[in-house]
């Protein structure tokens, strides 16, 4: 463990993405009640698994003018998608800009399947993204060592630390300054996106990291960035680099 955390710290230092020095990195899972943890950890009681089952169906269903399924090119997801979610957001070669996993799936859908992109936060996009991410469950988050991502991580970090909205809060003010303490009845987690898309009891359904970030901005009384906005992708890229080494949990359960 010491070695792993040492490595993670080294990677963060290289990325210029430090920030968690005082506390050991912890997933939000660690802050939950035993009941909510148990709901996540038992696949038969984790409601997110309903969406994984749907995602598996979508993976195998031919779609679009090309009438080809994800599995038509990528075969068995358990093999071809193993580890994929640990590396996103990544640079998309055709645009030379970062893209998150849901964006990558939608791009594949448009360019390969010749199908309409799924709308942001649609059940299909969430199910397919969760199914792909689920293939990396238990694997450590390992953002690519790609210099082209550095400026985006930097701008994501700047956003994370910038005070926004009517309450004058930043992400960092709560999730670094007060992580582990209570806000109302809730414990403030360290904001590591280890388990997305995840089933939030508040939402009563599966949702993306972008939904959560927009949700946080509403809580800060700030105008949320639009789904798919470059700011949200930059925040995702920064948060994933900040969470390096923590295992993927998809589909997580959170209160």
Shortest CA distance to 206 belongs to which of 129, 99, 118?
129
How is residue 246 written in tokens?
């923590």
Residue 16 φ/ψ region, left for φ over 0, alpha for ψ in the -120 to 50 degree band, beta for the rest: left
Residues of this chain that interact with another protein (CB under 8 A) are 32-33, 35-36, 39, 44-45, 47, 49-51, 53-54, 57, 183-186, 201-205, 211, 215-216, 218-219, 255
Between 31 and 88, name the residue whose CB sits nearer to another protein.
31
Question: Kindly report the CA angle at 193 between 13 and 246, in degrees rounded to 5?
Answer: 55
Between 32 and 149, name the residue whose CB sits nearer to another protein.
32
Among candidate residues 70, 171, 174, 216, the one labeled active-site is 216
Task: Confirm whether 174 is a catalytic residue.
Answer: no
Between 55 and 98, name the residue whose CB sits nearer to another protein.
55
Please, what is the minimum distance in Å from the beta carbon of residue 99 to another protein?
25
Between 59 and 152, name the residue whose CB sits nearer to another protein.
59
Whether cis (ω within 30° of 0) applies to the bond prior to 89 is yes
Between 49 and 66, name the residue whose CB sits nearer to another protein.
49
Please, what is the minimum distance in Å from the beta carbon of residue 213 to another protein?
11
Please, what is the minimum distance in Å from the beta carbon of residue 77 to another protein?
18
Please, what is the minimum distance in Å from the beta carbon of residue 229 to another protein?
18
Please, what is the minimum distance in Å from the beta carbon of residue 136 to another protein?
21
Pairing of strands 90-92, 97-99: antiparallel
Catalytic residues: 216
């Amino acid at each position: 463990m010491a070695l792993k955390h040492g490595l993670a710290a080294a990677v963060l230092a290289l990325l210029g993405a430090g920030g968690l020095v005082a506390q050991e990195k912890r997933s939000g899972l660690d802050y939950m009640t035993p009941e909510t943890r148990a709901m996540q950890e038992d696949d038969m009681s984790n409601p997110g698994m309903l969406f994984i089952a749907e995602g598996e169906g979508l993976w195998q269903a031919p779609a679009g003018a090309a009438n080809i399924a994800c599995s038509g090119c990528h075969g068995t997801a358990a093999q071809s998608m193993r580890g994929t979610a640990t590396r996103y957001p990544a640079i998309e070669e055709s645009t030379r800009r970062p893209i998150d996993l849901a964006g990558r799936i939608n791009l594949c859908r448009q360019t390969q399947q010749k199908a309409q992109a799924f709308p942001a936060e649609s059940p299909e996009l969430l199910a397919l993204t969760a199914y792909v991410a689920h293939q990396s469950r238990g694997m450590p988050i390992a953002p690519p060592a790609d210099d082209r991502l550095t400026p985006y991580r930097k701008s994501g970090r700047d956003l994370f630390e910038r005070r926004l909205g009517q309450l004058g809060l930043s992400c960092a003010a709560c999730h670094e300054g007060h992580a582990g303490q209570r806000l109302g009845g809730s414990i403030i987690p360290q904001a590591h996106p280890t388990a997305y898309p995840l089933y939030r009891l508040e939402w009563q359904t599966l949702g993306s990291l972008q939904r959560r970030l927009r949700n946080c901005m509403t809580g800060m009384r700030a105008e949320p960035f639009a789904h798919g906005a470059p700011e949200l992708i930059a925040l995702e890229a920064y948060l994933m680099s900040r969470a390096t080494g923590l295992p993927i949990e998809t589909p997580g359960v959170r209160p």
